[in-house]
A and B are shown apart, each in its own frame.
Chain A
Amino acid sequence: MSTKKPFIKREGKRIGTTVSDLLIRIVLIAYSVIVVYPVLWTIFSSFKTNQEFYKSAWALPQGIFFDNYRNAWETAKIGTYFLNSVIVVAITVVLTLILCATTAYVLARFKFWGNNFVQTLYMSGLYVPTILGIVPIFLLLVSLRMLDTWRGLIIIYTVFSLPFSVFVLISFFKTIPNELSDAARIDGCSEYGTFWRIMFPISKTGLITVSIFNYIWVWNDYLFGMTFITNDLKRTLPVGLVRLTETLQFKTEWGSLFAGLVIIMLPSIIIYALFQKQLTKGLTAGSIKG
């Protein structure tokens, strides 16, 4: 990539640029294949029968074999894990949204004693690896009788979403001009009214970005789900999937495992397709600059 530049100067701009553009394109396309192909392969494999898979793991499926999905969803209990995950993730995302929006709004736009200190507390959370507090959290949940409950899991997910969410939303709320909130107050809006009726809706882009990031990590989390839930019927999807691989290692029926992988990917693919513009815009909106 770096060696062809002097070449351009000597050989004249047009040919050099065309050649280097071509090379760059080849690299970009090659990398696209490296990213897309394994995912496509997983999807194809989920439609194959076991015999097909063993005959050739890399051929296209001969037909669409839906039994893998039925097996995964029912026999391997992926359906149960899926619904568990949906409930846990939905509550976490909404709860985080309310908590981090109110917090970030106050921190970004109000002057009061201790403001900087509270901001520092949240920001330092960004620099702490999640696994560090796992033993004390486990003990805390035990003593609060919240081990093996979704309540406990949801609280932990929410609290661990706060540093990043508050961080992004503070910079977001700072960009909203003062005139807007001032005008609302002159019109007789209370502080609560100003926030919920004006500031909250107007920050839609920031709130969606934050929620997508929280969705991504909570939907995909393995560590907390594995550690804080022990009852098989309460497990979240990533944990259930890993359990499935462990049992399949001895039965070698990969079909339902691939179906499980597709099931866990599908919501993320849909969300990405719907919101990818917003996601990039939110990241671009100066959020990581500070």
Chain B
Amino acid sequence: MKRERGYKSFIAVNLLPTLILYAVFYIYPFLKTFYVSLFSWRGLSKNMKFIGFANFAKLFKDPIIWKATKNNLFFLFWGTIVIFLFSLFFSTVMARKKFKEMGFYRIVFFFPNMLSIIVVGLIWKFIYNPSFGILNTVMEFLGLGKYIKVWLGDPSTVMGALVVPQAWMYIGFYMLLFFAAMQNIPEELYESAKLDGAGEIRQLFSITIPLIWETMRTAFVFFVINAFSKTFNLVFVVTRGGPSRSSELLTTYLYQNAFQFSDFGYATAIGVYLFVILFVISFIVLKFTKAETYEY
């Protein structure tokens, strides 16, 4: 099909304004993070002093960085286990069982994704509240009174207590992703598996999971970013990194350095460190979970 001269200008008009905005407000700040991390720069003063990798040297000696890294990995590890187990279970049930009320569960389970993490955080703060929180009330009712703790105020329980709202919020999202992928699996595969005598669990591991493997990998990479990035809001609202930094994250520490201590050089160095960790984890995960793609 012949296209007139307007073709090229049409592409430019549609593409360029957006691309320029994106370059200025997204790509440029991203790259500048790497640049600023090489400077000593306090506040909005003009004098940036080039100090090479000194910020990184400081970073590796900073015990709070290690604590924060450990907490981020805690979120990643337990978040993955809880969220992927539940979402996989729910999506499998929804794809394989034909309950009348399945649509209702789907709508309800996804709903927390509509809420602000602020709302989720505050609601869970009330659930954990030591004087009137429902968790302790229920535990007492069940005779588990002696296990009651100040969940968010105790360094040994605070991280676990923060993973739960995180899971509560995101299980529905991953459930929907997996469910969508499962819808594409042809029913005949299950039919013939049944004829061969394979039970539901067998079908899950030899049909469902291999066929949605690509979706699961993509979802997992997104979850890695999520565990390092979106957890910021939750922690910032619920505990502010406390008690005594026991729930500090790399992101909350970055934010504190940037906007409380005005130490832009160190804050961006934390950002670069965070990015490298993310990159390495995603790379390793994608490399080691590669499987042959199934055509169906």
Contact = CB atoms under 8 A, between A and B. Distances in A.
Interface of A: 1-2, 5-6, 8-9, 21, 24-25, 27-28, 31-32, 34-36, 38-39, 41-42, 54, 57-58, 99-100, 102-103, 105-107, 110, 112, 118, 121-122, 125-140, 142, 155-156, 158-160, 162, 182, 185, 190-192, 195, 216, 219-223, 227, 238, 241-242, 245, 257, 261, 264-265, 268-269, 271-272, 276, 279-280, 283-284, 288-289
A135 B268 contact: yes
Contacts of A107: 15
Contacts of B18: 99-100, 102-103, 162
B81 interface: no
Contacts of A156: 25
Given A32-B109, A135-B33, A238-B118, A190 B6 contact: yes
Contacts of A283: 176-177, 180
A241 B123 CA distance: 13
Contact of A261 (B8, B19, B119): B119
Interface string B252-270: 0011001100001001100
Contact of A137 (B29, B90, B176, B232): B29
A103 B122 contact: no
Nearest to B124: A38
A191 B118 contact: no
A133 B278 CA distance: 15
A85 B293 CA distance: 44
Given A121-B27, A136-B33, A288-B180, A99 B21 contact: yes
A149 to B, nearest CB: 14
Contacts of A38: 123-124, 126-127
Interface of B: 1, 6-8, 10-11, 13-15, 17-19, 21-22, 24-30, 32-33, 36, 44, 86, 89-90, 93, 97, 99, 104-119, 122-124, 126-127, 132, 134, 137, 168, 172, 176-177, 179-181, 183, 199-202, 214-215, 218-219, 221-222, 225, 228-229, 232-233, 236-237, 251, 254-255, 258-259, 264, 267-268, 271, 274-275, 278, 282
Contacts of B114: 216, 265, 268-269, 271-272
Contacts, number: 233
Given A112-B11, A133-B26, A245-B122, 19 more contacts: A24-B93, A28-B93, A34-B168, A57-B132, A57-B134, A58-B132, A125-B22, A130-B229, A132-B30, A136-B32, A155-B25, A191-B6, A220-B115, A220-B119, A222-B117, A264-B116, A272-B114, A276-B110, A284-B179
Nearest to B21: A159
B134 A41 contact: yes
